[in-house]
Structure 1
Amino acid sequence: MVKLSRFSLLSALVVTASATDVVVPKHLPTRELLRDGYAYSLEPVWTQDYISSNLTRNLMKVIASITGKPPTLRVGGNTGDQTYYHPELNVSAAALPNTTVTNTFNISNAWFEQWGSYFPDGTDFLYTLNLKDNSSAWENAVREAGAAYSVLGDKLKLIELGNEIDHFINKGWRPPTWNVAMYVQQWRNISSQIVSSSWYKAASHPPKFQAAVFADPPWLPDQQDEIDDFDIINLTRAGLTEQDKIGSYAVHLYPQSTCDTARWYRLSLNLLSNHSVLWHNVSQYVPQVAAADKAGIPLVFGETNSASCSGRSGISDTFGAALWNVDYVLLAASIGMPHVYFHLGANAEYSSFVPLPYQHKNESLEAGIRSLFYGHYFMAHVLASNKQQRVAQIPTANSSDFSGYAIYSPGHRHHEELHKLVFIDLQVWNGTQGLSNPSTLSITDSTSHSAGLRPVRKVSVSTSWKAGTCLDIIRLQAPGTNAKSEISVSGVSFESQTGDQVGEPQGETVIVGEQGRVCFEMQAAEAVLIEGKQLNDRTVY
């Protein structure tokens, strides 16, 4: 018998549940699901803000306590190509003219030391070098790489050469002839200098490179009036496939944008909270993944979030965005993109959490936790496993308002066995509670509420699990799609200033019925994780 959440219970008393039947096929094409598949990208100029309080560290420890591994952190972004290494600098870093509008970001070894020692033990780092400055044979970038490794050591796993290099013509950093062939030539020049450096040769585990770092999606016309040949297919055809150097390729994706008036007016929470739209955005990378697979190098979403140019409050900081990012990470992994790096900026409206109070658009915002972090906390339970997990989309759970994923682990004689199920209800249901959050803009608090009572979905899933098996259910919940607060994962939330846990997990179980059928209810705008019941550190099916 399923124990309903308080939101589900109230709705179920007066609403007839709609029925959804799902079949999990015995054999599905699976891809790797990593414990740190949900990662972060931190704008270099904002690093000092994020380490100026304990909030960031505490939240990363929360994730590590579930998955056993802290999230991977990329320090990179637009200001990566405006960064200059000055070992003689008498401060750790200096943004000119300021952190909000930066033309030059000067750093010293102390800057690497500050953030390198801040994050939990076991954190893997990726650092973006300045590819813009090609003076003196990229001397600045080569020195940056040496300085980063001298401080971070083996914690530095990957190095990027430049950020969104397909926008370099538009920015005036490369000539109109800039294309993949020129990029490959310059990439090999810089990487060869780094690899031949004495520190690199002496390193026991030297960092590899994350190549490509392209911004424009392959199915859209080039947005920057540049030669439109920057994609993974062309890159691998050009021969940039050195597995001894390259640890991964990266592309960036922002499904919406605030960068210009036309796209600002098209912004919509309804579009973000829509699995069909997400599939349209992510599926265009299937041929790109195939090219990367052929080269034997994984492709990742190296920077992403809900809307480019820092997001939009009222969309990016709502519960709908939290459901979107759960769907996003699992969908990306299921097509073969094992890491998704969500971008952070201390004044960005899409940031999962903000470490310090600040003034923004005539409002005084507090430090705090926003909805996206709860998506990550829920995902931590999905990613956690002492076995290597693999994931697949479930064909019969694939519509605009409902998606599902089957997660497998090695079983008897190395056959894949069903390990977990994740379902996400993406119906837009706007409630009347949890509409404000002191770390978000109050002017964007929702005033639109859904009529009637919150719908409930009765789900019946045919699985390979044995009848009588006891399963745990974990729920990602909020009062509605438009909520900015009152979000929890099966009763657990976090104190917004410190990241301390509030509340204890509310246990919920379901028993597998005849012929492997699993039946449960979920409300509109909710995600559920179903897994074998944990008994004495053993997963029992």
Structure 2
Amino acid sequence: MRLHLVRLITTITASAILCALLSDHVNAATPNATIHIPSSRPAFAEKLSQGLIGFSIEMDRWTSWAGDAVGKPNPFVNQVLGVMESFTGVPPPFRVGADSEDRGYIQPGITVINASFPAATADIPFPEAEITGIGKDFYALSSNLPKGTSFIWGVNLKARNMSETVAQVALLADTFQGSRKALMANVTLTSLEIGNEPDFFTFPGWTPSAYVELWSTIVNKITSIIKLGGPNEPKLEGPAFAGFAAAQWDAMSVLNAGFAEGKAGKLLGTFGEHHYSGVHAYPSFNPEPKMGDLFNKNSIRSNLTKHAKEVSRARSVGLPYILGETNSYANHGAPGVSNTAEAAIWMVDNALQAASIGVQQMYFHHGVGFRYNLFQPVSGAEDGVGLTSRPHILPVFYGVLAVNEAIGSSGKSCVAEIGTDSATVSAYGIYEQTKLARIVVINSEMYLPSQNSTRANSTVYLDGLGKDVHFTAKRLSIPFTNATTGLTWASVNYDTASGVPEGKPQQEDVTGSAMTVAASEVVLLCLK
């Protein structure tokens, strides 16, 4: 997501701004903390999707992720995706589109892609394409991803060119349902997204009602071209609002305008909106993100509050709610924050907080060289980590591993936030059906190189488990909050040239109702 509108500031709630301004408190020494574990699974626990964490790919960089040609996948990408799948049993889902979705055009005679990029800037070294030409094999590259991968594919709405949108849908239909169906047998088109962030469109008379009217007209036109809504057929995902625009662009506005009604509305499968924690390098937004803002406990919760309301509104019409595009700071991430270990700690709290309020899936946005990428799919991506000579993972990836292991592979787990008495310690209970199986403990106190001899440790008391409880502990360990390398999950290094992890997972055996959690550390407890 790249922002360019003066309406930006309206997205950040007053409480979120206050938390950002006061975020220096994370430097204070962390006191001991108590986690108040309920005696039974809370009634508000939410089901955890094995595919909670997925990928949103900027369409103009699709070949960097999927490979340059059909049958020639990117081996590093598929290896790392396989690592993620090994924890949950499900490959991460993909959404392809975003800003370049509404700058995409079918170009006959092109095999894959013909993208035209503007000049890079210091703040945006890898800008989105001004125009992306779509060739006959473009969508078919989906077959290069791991077996079982599901896709949301986006098509152009902003052009308001019915012929263009129909041509894109026709190529998608031929790829997944027509002449190339056999090629695509191992992957699934689950959703079609028509337009990216239409709340940012600036057409005269553009309102939520005008959007619903245009969207419905297009849907009614394409139903004769692509099979939608039936068993094993894709459904629609939308409205894909940015969430940074004026307040009237929300779930209620489009639902009141009939978005989920009629022939078009009945083809919806998910209600999807977008979410970022803030913005980097936008002149009208102040202050610029700084270290400690991102993983601030209160900030994470206040930023997600509005989505709890949107979840409820979507459920009122029978639709699951997803964040079809999300990440730390819009405009490709903030240097010195999004590309550091702070983002790994943030990922755990942010993802589990979203899941605990009913968000079913989160598609983290990616391009090439974006500072908030989970990993870079190709060499030459300058993201501040210093590994341009090869594809590589970024620190935030370690947070994903912690979340995926917490979710597990049963397909029956639920999550609920567990209360603590600490401003920097958070906790989540993971339940297998009704039984508490795992606890995630997050300490978001900052730890910097200048403090290298005084790393704070909190004694965390597990109130409600009893004194004789037995569990194992795995740790997300980091050198410093601002580190870009040197992280491990359960003592394993995942940042290798091949993407194959190095080391054997290590865990501690713990007995009793207390344990130590260091500043800027995450611990996964598995009850025996």
Alignment-mate amino acid for residue 140 of structure 1: E
Which of residues 133, 155, 159 is equivalent to 1:106? 133
Going from structure 1 to structure 2, the CA distance change for 1:204 and 1:282 (only over 3 Å counts) comes to: closer
Once the two structures are superposed, the pairs formed by residues 324-335 of structure 1 within 5 Å of their partners are 324-335=346-357
Residue in 1 that maps onto 2:158:
132
1:504 corresponds to 2:504: yes
1-structure distance, mates of 2:212, 2:448: 49
Structure 1: state its 5+ residue gaps. Answer: 1-15, 223-227, 411-415, 432-448, 533-540
CA distance in 2, matches of 1:35, 1:67: 6
Cα deviation code 1:173-214 (max 9, x no counterpart): x22x111111111111111222233x4169752211111111
SS in 1 for 2:322: strand
For residue 438 of structure 1, what is the aligned residue in structure 2?
Answer: none
Structure 1 residue identity aligned to 2:484:
K
Contact in 2 for aligned 1:277/1:400 (Cα 8 Å): no
Q: Confirm or deny that 1:405 pairs with 2:400.
A: no
Provide TM-score, normalisation by structure 2: 0.84
How many pairs are equivalent? 471
3-state SS, counterpart of residue 56 of structure 2? strand
Counterpart in 1 of 2:299?
A: 277
Structure 1 equivalent of residue 149 of structure 2: 123
Distance 1:451 1:468, change over 3 A: closer
Q: CA offset at residue 265 of structure 1?
A: 4.6
Please tell me whether residue 64 in structure 1 is matched to residue 85 in structure 2. Answer: yes
Q: Which residue of 1 aligns with 2:388?
A: 365
1:336 to 358, 366, 370: 358
CA distance in 2, matches of 1:453, 1:183: 56
1:97 Cα deviation (Å)?
Answer: 4.5
Equivalent position to 2:447, from 411, 419, 429: 429
Residue in 2 that maps onto 1:459: 460
- Report the counterpart of residue 94 of structure 2 in structure 1: 73
Q: Distance in 2 between matches of 1:54 and 1:180?
A: 43
Residue number in structure 2 paired with 1:323: 345
State the partner residue of 1:40.
55
The letter for the 1-side match of 2:63 is: Q
* 1:189 equivalent in alignment to 2:202: no
The share of aligned pairs that are identical, in percent, is: 26
CA 1:359–1:65: 2 relative to 1, 3 Å:
closer
2: distance between equivalents of 1:117 and 1:361?
28
CA displacement, residues 121-180 of structure 1 (integer Å, 9 cap, x when unaligned):
011101111001222xx22222212322432456000111111110010xxxx22x1111
Q: Answer whether contact 2:324 2:363 (CA < 8 A) is retained.
A: yes
1:117 Cα deviation from its structure 2 partner: 1.8
- Equivalents in 2 of 1:25, 1:120: separation in Å? 39
Q: Counterpart in 2 of 1:8? A: none
CA contact (8 A) 2:30 2:445 kept: no
Q: 1:520 to 1:361 in 2, by over 3 A?
A: closer
- Paired residue secondary structure (1:41): strand
Look up the SS of the partner of 1:66 in the other structure: helix
Contact residue 109 and residue 148 of structure 1 kept, 8 A? no
- Separation in 2, partners of 1:90, 1:130: 18
Q: Which of residues 166, 171, 174 in structure 2 aligns to 1:150?
A: 174
CA contact (8 A) 1:322 1:372 kept: yes
Note closer, same or farther for the CA distance 1:274–1:377 as it changes in structure 2 (3 Å cut): same
Contact in 2 for aligned 1:74/1:126 (Cα 8 Å): yes
Q: Identify the residue that residue 7 of structure 1 maps to in structure 2.
A: none
The Cα of 1:364 is off from its aligned counterpart by 8.2
Q: Secondary structure at the match of 2:482?
A: coil
- Does 2:276 correspond to 1:254? yes
Cα pair 1:458 1:519 within 8 Å, conserved: yes
Q: How does 1:473-512 map to 2 (within 5 A)?
A: 473-511=473-511
Matched position secondary structure for 2:428? strand
- In structure 1, what residue type is equivalent to 2:45? T
The Cα of 1:82 is off from its aligned counterpart by: 0.6
| Amino acid in the other structure paired with 1:42 | I
Equivalent position amino acid for 2:260 in 1: T
The residue identity in structure 2 corresponding to 1:498 is S
Query: Per-residue CA shift, 1:47-70, capped at 9, x if unaligned?
Result: 111234422111100111111001
The verdict on how the C-alpha distance between 1:101 and 1:281 changes in structure 2, with shifts beyond 3 A counting, is closer
* Map of 1:528 onto structure 2: 523
Corresponding residue number in structure 2 for 1:96: 116
1:19 Cα deviation from its structure 2 partner: 2.2
Q: CA deviation at 1:260?
A: 1.6
Paired with 1:201 and 1:275, the residues of 2 have a C-alpha distance of 41
**Structure 1 range deviating more: 466-475 or 43-52:** 466-475
Letter in 1 for 2:483: A
On the 8 A contact 1:344/1:351 being kept in 2, the answer is: yes
Runs of 4+, deviation exceeding 6 Å:
361-364
The superposition leaves residues 69-106 of structure 1 with CA deviations (integer Å, 9 ceiling, x where unpaired) of 010111011000011123x3233110024684522111
Q: Distance in 2 between matches of 1:364 and 1:506?
A: 27
Are the aligned partners of 2:228 and 2:267 in contact in 1 as well (CA < 8 Å)? no
SS at match of 1:404: strand
Matched AA of 1:474: K
Q: CA RMSD in A?
A: 2.4
